Structure 1
Amino acid sequence: MNGGNSNSDEVFGAFRLGSMALALPMDMLREVVPFTRLQQLPTAAPWVLGGLDLRGVLVPVVDLSVLLGQTEQANHRQCVVVVAHEGRLAGIVATAVDCLFSANTNQLNAFHSTDAVGRVARGSLQNPSSGKLLSVLCAQALMALPQLPAVSDPEPHRQSHALSQEHASAEEHHRVPLLLMRSQGLLFAVNPEEIETTMPRAQLKSKDVCNGHYKGNAIYREREIPAISLTDYLNFGVEAGPLKTNMCVGDPAQPAFVLRFGQGAMAVLIDEILDIVQVNPNQLIDLPNIAVLKTKVLRQTIAVHSIYPEQPHDEHFYVIHPKGMVADQGLKALADLVHRAENTKDVPEESDHQRKGLRRLEVDQRVIVFDMNGDHVIPISEIAEVLPYRGVKEAFPRDNPFRGIMTHRNRAIPVVDLAQHLGLPRQKLNTSSNVLVVHLENQPIGLAVGCLRSIEQANWSPEVPVLGAARTERSGVNKLTKKLAEVLVGNERKLLEIISAREEAQRFAECHLAARCDQTALSPEQEKQLECTHTAEA
């Protein structure tokens, strides 16, 4: 049987159609969608129920029970398992999706058939966890069925999506962060780990040599750095609209992200920072090599509905490749020119610390700066997603830091007031507030905070006593020590407390979520005591 050969192990997705227990290899499963009204397709095969509208593509849906000559059971059609094989898509109607399991393919008992329908069943395989026998389907034989109008796969880059919450949780470890932004009506994204920082307000100083995408100099860490317009640099022509089409010196300060050019730096001007999300890298689509596109800077794109499934429109984010901008000789020369000009100025000796700070990327750590009854920071590595504070129905006492539940990506996320959870005054949260999502092992937790200020590089300090009055947690334990980080907020350098989002989310889960489960398990003595108490009260 060769059961110990781990190289033969394969992951399968198990699903049911009536009384049939079926399975398919995970690399052939694209996704599972609800069974909805189908459109008629030009085929005479009675087992092709119709076409499912899957984001603008009609995918033929097959009912295997009809194909096998069984009695048609409409109540068995609850969902559709979309199968992808060799660049083509088809759907299999199913009653329910059961689980994922890993099994040794050497233990597959092959079926042998001479007709096209019989070859759809590849063989039988046992689920090692449940001991249940399943019929493994052959995707190649399915696509080869006569009269099946299989459709070309419009998204061949995509891999199989999750069939269960367990698989979705495993995929979280392979996601990449994206900072979403808007500039002159266009949507852009960049990996925040590949930029130095963000500037919420980049105020420009007038320069006589400004032209093209160079808009002047911005003040960054007490020094001047050049500022360029992102859309002007990319030569994107944007129609006039409610947003600014050209940014000139003297306009109000606007957001920017900062790139490092050797010893110098550069601010890239945008209009608005929208969100920070985590995405599956397989959802990134490579851009074609078109001359008008700066493909060294814009290599990929990602559809909006891949990030926000509740917004199924055709917009997409251009994904910026910062290394392509840093390699641009024109930008590098501009950054070096301004850097040399700054070095010729009379800089006080005490500012040497700030100059060295521009070259400390190797030892700095990235943090999110946010308002929570004052400025605080959280390491960006601990945050899975940043969501707007909306859709949270507050229906709990004000003395409880638990604010309510929000739904995102088909998961219910408990939202806790982080300030109140830490013993600080309860926050006044509104639509401009944010929820920092932390993924624990089995449950995401949302930490509600005020508005986000920026993403910054920070110098970490050893643990020191908390400045000011000692805070008391809800459990009554004084918090005597904290870590501080030196962070540049605007043009002011501050020492801010570092909050561990993961530790606080775990503490909330242990105190509130785990306690609810513990209440169901009472010892016989506790049950007897509780019964006596109820009798006495009666």
Structure 2
Amino acid sequence: MNARVELQPEAYGVFRLAGMELALPLATMRELMPLAPLTPLPCATPGVLGGLNVRGVLVPVLDLRGVLAWPPEGQPAAVVILAHQGRVLGLLAEGGTGVFAPSAEAMVWMKQAQGTGMLMRGAFPRPDQQGMVSLLDPEALMNLPGVPVALEREGGLGVGAEIQAALGMGAPEDEPLVLVLAGGIPFAISSAAVHTTLLKPDVRESALTGGYCLGVLIHDGLRIPAVDLLALCGLGQLPRGVPQQAFLLRYAQGLVAFVVTEIVDVARADQSRVVPLPERAFRVPGLLLGALPAAACLTQVRASATGAFAHFLLVAAEALLNHTDLIGMAGINMPAEVGHGDAHQQGQRRDEAYAEHCQVLVYSVGYEVVTPVEQIIEILPWRPDEAVRGHGGQVVGVVVSRGRAVTLYSLQALLGLAETPPSDSASVLVLAHGETHVGYVVPALVSIDDAPRPRAGRVRRGDSLASHLGACSPVLVGERLLGVLDLQALTLDLLGAAVAPQPALPLNTSQPQQGHPVGRMPA
């Protein structure tokens, strides 16, 4: 386990419960864990829910709503692990908010009368001015009558900087992982190795079909070999007739697609907690590094993923990139449409076509529209309960992500469209204009596809925001002609900046600017 990281005493970790923002000194917070099944404890004290196994230590979990007779509001899904003077206690939480370091002038300290058992020692305002945060007293929590606590064993429970990442702040050195499911088996692979993801790959049989190769799929004007990840690892075969998704790896020779059942999420994880697996346990050795506990994910992952699986099999990306057969497959990327003429002319035409293409995000505003992926710096899952409510109408509220406040707008309301119920893939598309961040709530994501680069439209000053819908010419995505929505121009107009017409939307086909890889799509 990594050594403890010295934390500044004035820093506080903030979490939510029953509509309140609660804080603890960051130096006392060991972990923010997903709520897992609890072990019953022989304790009748109100609020004591049971014990949580934290790497071999049975930590009692306390619901402050029961202790303080608060109404049972909210949907707790996490446990804050509090360690103080050798004692450990778990506190029920809805989730983490962030790490704040208020100034001495901002702190409001409170003094309690002798023997009152007050749990609150102070309060401070949130930096974004979205309400006050109540500071809890760790000593008072540990001394609650009838509440059992665990003793911290030698070496502690681990965790240092990762609590900051779990609360939405800080960044551990571990790189993010792409979490996928293949035939019911959960896998994880380094996101740095993943070139892009495809939500609706069209896998077709070809001369390559056989063994773990399913055939080819079309991407960027190329026929790319498509590999069954489950079969490659010797763990079975993907079931036929069910929806599939894929992630692509880039080799020096070309691209290879790895077909899975579902791209689940992208998350940072404490990879020091990977459990090695004996190579003899697998028919194909060397492709799996070990088992990563779901609880090791430091950033929030869909509950259906971490709740259903105890571990993810960590795929050795380096082993895939050095796999002789896969390198050979990468070398036979072929143009999707082979015409007459020599190979040099075909390659030249393809290169010219690439310069006029880009990746677009296909999403619904009641009907499908597209926006160039490069405009979007981050895609967040839409969780209404985590947003600070706005005044209604176009402004949905505010959400804090990666230490920045994002103003949320209903895209349908902005464009004057009828509101449709959100789907499971309802998301927030985050754009940046200087230091200002704007999030557009959309009811459903569809896919990320390749399309001809849209030409920027012209919107006159004084036109309604809805005029952005028809400002750009539609583009052909696959076999569908879809309208283009220039969210960059819409943001400038929304914020009152001048909209300067451009000959073409800027080309940036390398990597997403920041945040989660934009290829990540909530399922």
State TM-score, norm by structure 2. 0.55
- What aligned pairs does 1:94-493 form with structure 2 within 5 A after superposition? 100-101=100-101, 149-150=150-151, 156=158, 159=161, 161=163, 168=167, 170-171=169-170, 180-190=179-189, 194-199=193-198, 200-207=200-207, 210-237=209-236, 244-245=238-239, 254-274=244-264, 276-277=265-266, 279-282=267-270, 285-291=273-279, 292=281, 301=292, 303=294, 307-309=301-303, 312-320=307-315, 322-337=317-332, 346=341, 351-353=346-348, 355-356=350-351, 368-372=361-365, 373-379=367-373, 382-387=377-382, 400-401=393-394, 416-422=409-415, 425-426=417-418, 428-429=420-421, 431=423, 434-438=426-430, 445-454=439-448, 464-466=456-458, 474=464, 489-490=477-478
Q: 1:30 matched to which residue of 2?
A: 31
CA distance in 2 between partners of 1:87 and 1:134 (Å): 18
Secondary structure of the corresponding residue to residue 326 of structure 2? helix
* Structure 1 residue 330, shift from structure 2 partner: 2.0
The structure-2 alpha-carbon separation of the partners of 1:150 and 1:259, relative to structure 1 and needing over 3 Å to count, comes to: same
State which structure, 1 or 2, has the greater radius of gyration over its C-alpha atoms: 1
Q: Structure 1's 504 and 176: CA in aligned 2 closer, same or farther, altered over 3 A?
A: farther
Provide the C-alpha distance between the structure 1 equivalents of 2:138 and 2:242, rounded to a whole number of angstroms: 63
Whole-Å separation in 2 of the counterparts to 1:368 and 1:168: 29
Q: Distance in 2 between matches of 1:490 and 1:186?
A: 31
Q: Distance in 1 between matches of 2:87 and 2:449?
A: 42
Give the 3-state SS of the residue equivalent to 2:163 in structure 1: coil
For 1:11-22, list aligned pairs within 5 A.
Answer: 11-13=10-12
Query: 1: distance between equivalents of 2:339 and 2:49?
Result: 70
Taking the aligned partners of 2:259 and 2:205, their CA distance within structure 1 comes to: 14
User: 2:172 and 2:357 mapped to 1: Cα distance?
Assistant: 23
Q: Is the 8 A contact 2:254 2:331 kept in 1?
A: yes
Letter paired with 2:361: I
When residues 494 and 333 of structure 1 are mapped into structure 2, their CA distance, relative to the original with a 3 A threshold, is farther
* Structure 2 unmatched ranges of 5 or more: 1-5, 15-22, 105-123, 128-134, 497-523
Give the alignment's Cα RMSD to 1 decimal: 6.7
Q: Which has the higher contact order (CA 8 A, sep 6+)?
A: 2
Provide the rounded CA distance (Å) in 1 between the counterparts of 2:422 and 2:180. 21
CA distance in 1, matches of 2:189, 2:337: 28
**1:438: Cα distance to partner?**
3.3
Q: Which residue of 1 aligns with 2:51?
A: 53
What's the offset of the Cα at 1:135? 9.2
Unaligned runs of 5+ in 1: 1-6, 16-21, 63-73, 105-126, 239-243, 509-538
Does the C-alpha gap of structure 1 residues 407 and 54 become closer, same or farther in structure 2, counting only changes over 3 Å? farther
How far is the alpha carbon of 1:334 from its aligned partner? Answer: 2.5
| Post-superposition offset of 1:336 | 1.9
TM-score, scaled relative to structure 1? 0.54
State the distance in 2 between where 1:225 and 1:162 align.
40
Label 1:11 to 1:459 Cα distance change in 2 as closer, same or farther (>3 A). Answer: farther
Q: Conserved in 1, the CA contact under 8 Å of 2:396 and 2:409? A: yes
Alpha carbons 2:50, 2:61 under 8 Å: kept: yes
Judged with a 3 Å threshold, the aligned counterparts in structure 2 of structure 1 residues 454 and 340 are, in CA distance, closer, same or farther, namely closer
Match for 2:411: what amino acid? L
SS at 1:206's partner residue?
Answer: coil
Q: Would the alpha carbon gap of residues 494 and 344 (structure 1) be closer, same or farther in structure 2, given more than 3 Å must change?
A: same
What is the identity, as a one-letter code, of the residue corresponding to 2:151?
A
CA–CA separation in structure 1 for the residues paired with 2:353 and 2:83: 49
How far the C-alpha of 1:268 sits from its partner, in A, is 1.4
Could you tell me how far apart the structure 2 residues matched to 1:8 and 1:390 are? 30
Q: How many residues align?
A: 424
- Kindly indicate whether the alpha-carbon contact (under 8 Å) linking 2:369 and 2:484 is maintained by their aligned counterparts in 1: yes
Contact 1:11/1:26, CA 8 A, preserved across alignment = no
CA–CA separation in structure 1 for the residues paired with 2:342 and 2:460? 39
Contact 2:222 2:335 in 1 (8 A): no
Kindly state the Cα deviation for residue 471 of structure 1 after the two structures are TM-superposed.
11
* CA distance in 1: counterparts of 2:226 and 2:346, whole angstroms: 22
Between the aligned partners of 2:334 and 2:156, the Cα distance in structure 1 is 47
Question: Match of 1:352, SS?
Answer: helix
Q: Which amino acid aligns with 1:453?
A: S
Shift of 1:29: 3.7
Structure 1 residues 254 and 354, CA gap change in structure 2 (3 angstroms) = farther
After TM superposition, give the deviation of residue 433 of structure 1 in Å.
5.4
Candidates 482, 488, 492, aligned match of 1:500:
488
Shift of 1:160: 5.5
The one-letter amino acid of 1:261's match is: Y
Closer/same/farther in 2, CA of residues 451 and 338 from structure 1, 3 Å limit: closer
